[in-house]
Amino acid sequence: MKVVHINSYDGSGGAARAAARLNEALKLQQVESEFIVNYKYGTDTSIKTFSEGKLARLYAFFLIGLEHVYTKLQIKKVKIPFSIPFIGKSIEKHPLIKAADILHLHWTNQGFLTISSLKKLLAMGKPVVWTFHDSYAFTGGCHVRYSCENYKAECGNCPVVKNPSPRDVSHQFWLKKKALYAEYQFQVITPSNWLGNAVKQSSLMNNFNVQVIPNAIDADLFKPTNKTEARNKLNLNSNRFIMLSGFMPSKVDMHKGTSYLLEALEMLASKVDLSQVELVIFGNKPDAEKPSFKIKTTYLGIINNDAELATIYSAAHVFLTTTLEDNLPNTVMESLSCGTPVISFTTGGVPDMVSHQQNGYLAQYKSSEDFCNGILWAFNHPNREVLNENARQTVEQKFSLTAVGHKHLELYKTLLQKS
């Protein structure tokens, strides 16, 4: 069995990480699996690219920029990811694509696969699997839907585009997808039940076969280490309650919900002895504006080494995320795998991973007060070791490379039998 995974990038973004991990998981199942991308950011030479050579790479970069500019001209200045692919690549003649038994799509935006490109792939007659890492495939262009429910009927009057109307650019793009999906069907995978339910509610894809299979994680890499030793490596005070958070965007960034984290920590500062707590943030750019916290804060910067990242997760007592809408956040899974419980809003695919007051705390959506309550719950917990063990056990049972690879292999076998 030959499987080819197709993604816009490697080495950048959650979908790229998920695809790379699945590629490795399938190899453990003795599957001949390849991973190929449009534009290479990473240094892993086993990951192939459609843009071989300087000219092809330059052209790919040009298309990425062109789509970015075109989309910005069409949408309002809002922090909502949106894509309008209009120039892309035809990849159906590539040797890896021609030799594959299964084509497995992941994230394909930013100057890569247009509706026309997808149609050419589907017309090959091979089984096609598409893992949705966000909402793009069943909307008029948005990757994150928030409270908009237009996708359940038909997109148009889009709150994101500059000139919303019943026949605006989101509706035109929605019509193109409708025509494609009426002619061709494929196997949809969603990593979370939340996203799977959204696909089934969409007008574009409510008749598609949807299977929920989570993303995988290398639990041998992201594994617990002694917390005191991990803190010593990072020069963190081993007597403090360490709260870890990922990329710290601007206060107005809608997707990350940073304003709620700031509010929750402000509340926390009035409820605990400040000498007993510390906030650690990774993923921040050195020149980025840093919010002001009453709690002692250590910034670790961008971390590109997974082993180092695992040490950082292990050093923390809790991982904090105020994401407002997310499919199956890698950071949450990585933290649990390292035996560190997670405090999050009840949103997206997080409840597939975090069990309330078992391996973390699921706060009421957009409630800074309840998020603060979650931190206090972990801070005052009488047996933190149990929480750590529960976190690790969740990953070993549901999200290991072996478990997730086996589920994909069984699905591929079924698709090949039908083809």
**Three-state DSSP state, 379:** helix
For position 20, what pLDDT does the model report? Answer: 93
For position 327, what pLDDT does the model report? Answer: 83
Both tokens of 143, joined, read: 């990757």
In sign, the C-alpha dihedral spanning 222, 228, 229, 234 is positive
For position 186, what pLDDT does the model report? Answer: 96
Percent of the chain with pLDDT strictly greater than 70: 97
* Least trusted range by pLDDT, from 69-78, 103-112, 113-122: 69-78
Report d(CA 390, CA 104) in Å as an integer. 33
Find the mean pLDDT for residues 127-133: 97
Identify the DSSP state of 215: P
For position 246, what pLDDT does the model report? Answer: 86
Three-state secondary structure readout of 53-108? CHHHHHHHHHHHHHHHHHHHHHECCCCCCECCCCCCCCCCCCHHHHHCCEEEECCC
For position 86, what pLDDT does the model report? Answer: 87
**Three-state DSSP state, 161:** strand
Catalogue all structural domains in the chain, each as residue range(s) with its CATH number: 2-216+400-418 (3.40.50.2000), 227-398 (3.40.50.2000)
Partner residues linked to 6 by β-bridges: 36, 105
Which of 147, 198, 205, 146 lies closest to 174, judged by CA?
205
Both tokens of 258, joined, read: 């940073």
The answer, yes or no, to whether residue 254 has pLDDT greater than 60, is: no
Report d(CA 180, CA 170) in Å as an integer. 16
Rounded to 5°, angle at Cα 327 from 321 and 330: 55
Digit-coded pLDDT (tens) for 284-334:
776 666 777 889 999 998 888 889 999 999 999 999 999 888 888 889 999
* Least trusted range by pLDDT, from 97-106, 325-334, 389-398: 325-334
Compute the mean pLDDT over every residue in the chain, rounded to the nearest whole number: 92
* Least trusted range by pLDDT, from 8-17, 50-59, 330-339, 378-387: 8-17
Pairing of strands 318-321, 2-10: unpaired
Which of 364, 368, 185 lies closest to 270, judged by CA?
368
- Give CA separation, 315 vs 102, 319, 395, in Å: 41, 10, 18
Report d(CA 315, CA 284) in Å as an integer. 18
The number of angstroms, rounded, from the C-alpha of 96 to the middle of its chain's C-alpha atoms is 26
Full DSSP string of 123-152:
TT-S-EEEE-SSSGGGSSSBS--TT--GGG
Digit-coded pLDDT (tens) for 191-240:
999 999 999 999 999 999 999 999 999 999 999 999 999 999 999 998 99
**Three-state DSSP state, 37:** strand
pLDDT bracket for residue 252 (50, 70, 90): very low
The answer, yes or no, to whether residue 48 has pLDDT greater than 60, is: yes
Residue where the block lists tokens 């035109």:
172
For position 255, what pLDDT does the model report? Answer: 60
Give the ranges where 202-305 is alpha helix by DSSP (H): 227-233, 258-269
Report d(CA 18, CA 35) in Å as an integer. 11
pLDDT bracket for residue 261 (50, 70, 90): very high
> In what helix (H) or strand (E) does residue 345 lie, and over which residues does it extend?
strand 342-345
Report d(CA 281, CA 298) in Å as an integer. 6
pTM for this prediction = 0.84
Find the mean pLDDT for residues 71-84: 88
For position 251, what pLDDT does the model report? Answer: 47
For position 266, what pLDDT does the model report? Answer: 94
pLDDT bracket for residue 408 (50, 70, 90): very high
